[in-house]
Amino acid sequence: MQAKVYVVDDDQGMLDSTVWLLESVGLQALPFSSGQAFLDACVGDEPACVLLDVRMPGLGGLAVQQALRDRGVLMPVIFVSGHADVPIVVRGFKAGACDFIEKPYNEQLLLDSVQAALSHARQAQQGSLELAAIQARIDGMTPRERDVFIPLVQGLSNRQVAEQLGVSVKTVDLYRGRVMKRMQASSLAQLVGMAIACGQVQALGLGAIEVN
């Protein structure tokens, strides 16, 4: 899937020139002349970044950034502005912006910033896909596999798990092997990492958050 660069600017001349620049290096650029038009079209489920003008009629850049956060869309935001006063820059970065470029911008600087943002977006999407795959494996566990999985990733030994469940150590060994196979984990440390990533246990103290 080709990454997208959303370009949001109410200045039509700047919008056209930015889109032309991005397309000249083979990037897919999607132009929008208002923040609301961008929000209406933004899907948020593909690798993408947005070049976002700070000052626009209606929804300004900071408001658009907040709207994305409210939707849970963690798309990298690059602010572009001809009036980059310090308070706006600070607010943008505090809210997660990855760069802030002043107009008139240096073309190579803009392209480098976009490529860095798209690289980050691709890595984030890959991480989300991997996390979803791990969660699917957890969801596919049998009740007994889950009974063994949770205390194991909390740090309990096979014997302690057996005593907790009222079964033999041999039975725990059997289900531990099934859990490792189902989760495609090569070690207990890897299994614990998967559990932490999916919120099954807390990283500190390894206490269970929730056991369904």
The count of domains in the chain is: 2
CATH code assigned at 31: 3.40.50.2300
pLDDT exceeds cutoff 70 at 86: no
Confidence at residue 34, expressed as pLDDT on a 0 to 100 scale: 94
Q: pLDDT tier at 207 (50, 70, 90 boundaries)?
A: very low
177, burial (CB in 10 Å: exposed 0-12, middle 13-18, buried 19+): exposed
Residue range of the domain that includes 113 = 4-129
132 vs 98: CA distance, rounded Å: 25
The DSSP 8-state label assigned to residue 54 in this structure reads: S
> What pLDDT, on a 0 to 100 scale, did the predictor assign at position 82?
79
Mean pLDDT of the chain, nearest integer: 85
Look at residue 211 in the predicted model and tell me its pLDDT.
38
Mean of pLDDT values over 104-124 = 88
CA distances (Å), 198 to each of 5, 132, 135, 136, 150, in order?
A: 30, 9, 6, 10, 12
What CATH number is attached to the domain comprising 169?
1.10.10.10
| In a shared domain, residues 61 and 117 | yes
Pick the range with the lowest mean pLDDT from 105-114, 122-131, 136-145, 160-169.
122-131
Say yes or no: 153 and 108 in one domain. no
| CA 59 to chain CA centroid, nearest Å | 24
**Span 156-169, pLDDT tens digits:** 899 999 999 999 99
- Whether pLDDT at 71 is above 80: yes
pLDDT at 109 over 60: yes
pLDDT at 121: 80
* pLDDT tier for residue 206 given thresholds of 50, 70 and 90: very low
Q: Do 32 and 104 have their domain in common?
A: yes
Question: Model pTM?
Answer: 0.61
SS3 91: helix
Report pLDDT for 127.
66
Q: What pLDDT score was predicted for residue 162? A: 93
